[in-house]
Amino acid sequence: KAGVTQTPRYLIKTRGQQVTLSCSPISGHRSVSWYQQTPGQGLQFLFEYFSETQRNKGNFPGRFSGRQFSNSRSEMNVSTLELGDSALYLCASSLDPAGANEQFFGPGTRLTVL
Amino acid sequence: AQSVTQLDSQVPVFEEAPVELRCNYSSSVSVYLFWYVQYPNQGLQLLLKYLSGSTLVESINGFEAEFNKSQTSFHLRKPSVHISDTAEYFCAVGLTGGGNKLTFGTGTQLKVEL
């Protein structure tokens, strides 16, 4: 069974640009969550999607957005990039949003903003 | 709001020695508790979880953690570590009924030396 796939793995952008990151969950998983990992702030929850609906949202500005498609694949978008957005963005998939199910994490997309 | 505290940012230990990684949480409602491990340049992998029932939970690779409600702790232990256990370990809490949103601690870097 293939794991969680994230593309691209590495990305370099400049301030002011926008970026879209993609996450393909494990087959059969319908819940996708996104996290930002930085050395200073650690792992922070961005949002969770289930059945194409955002179910949970973390404390991030509106520049961070996401969506989920009917095949459960998810994308997150960051507009007007700032230097502080440099981070490892992790996607996690789970069967459903029950919370007790195991979440499987992808390898992440490392975003560098110059 | 819930929070997780991992007091030790780094724990050096010799191979075959025992280790304990500490985790304390704060929450006003029932929680699920998790330990994740992250190897360099990889995503997170679930090590073990506490949902309910027996307070002692074990992983397949020799780690165990005990849920202590009165002390709001979920410390991770291993009686004898191996070089391959060198990694960063994250404690996380999820709220029952709160979907898949996890609040993570800042992580503990376990370094196993010969």
- Å from A43 to nearest chain B CA? 6
Question: Which pLDDT value is given to residue A95?
Answer: 92
Q: Contact at 8 Å (CB) between A40 and B83?
A: no
Computed over every residue of chain A, the mean pLDDT equals 95
Region A64-73 average pLDDT: 97
In a 3-state reduction of DSSP, which class is residue A82?
coil
More confident: B96 or A9: A9
Region A34-51 average pLDDT: 95
CB contact under 8 A, A105 and B90: no
d(CA B22, CA A19): 37
Residue A39: CA count within 13 A, CB half-sphere: 1
d(CA B94, CA A99): 7
pLDDT digits (tens, 9 = 90+) for A76-89: 999 999 999 999 99
A78 touches chain B (CB under 8 A): no
CB contact under 8 A, B102 and A101: no
Q: What is the dihedral of CA B53, B4, B66, B32, to 10 degrees?
A: 20
Question: Which pLDDT value is given to residue B63?
Answer: 96
A10 touches chain B (CB under 8 A): no
CB contact under 8 A, A90 and B43: yes
- Å from A36 to nearest chain B CA? 11
CB contact under 8 A, A58 and B49: no
pLDDT exceeds cutoff 70 at A16: yes
Q: Which two tokens stand for residue B58?
A: 């074990």
pLDDT exceeds cutoff 80 at A1: no
The Cα-based distances of B52 to A81, B13, B33, B55, B57 in angstroms read 42, 31, 9, 7, 10
Q: Scan for tokens 């010969």, then name that residue.
A: B114
User: Digits of tens for pLDDT over chain B (114 positions)?
Assistant: 889 999 999 999 999 999 999 999 998 888 899 999 999 888 899 999 998 888 889 898 899 999 999 999 999 999 999 999 999 999 999 988 888 899 999 999 999 999
- Å from A17 to nearest chain B CA? 25
CB contact under 8 A, A100 and B95: no
pLDDT exceeds cutoff 80 at A52: yes
Question: Which pLDDT value is given to residue B41?
Answer: 81
Region A31-53 average pLDDT: 95
Query: In chain B, which residues have their Cβ closer than 8 Å to the Cβ of A26?
Result: none
A27 touches chain B (CB under 8 A): no
- Å from B14 to nearest chain A CA? 26
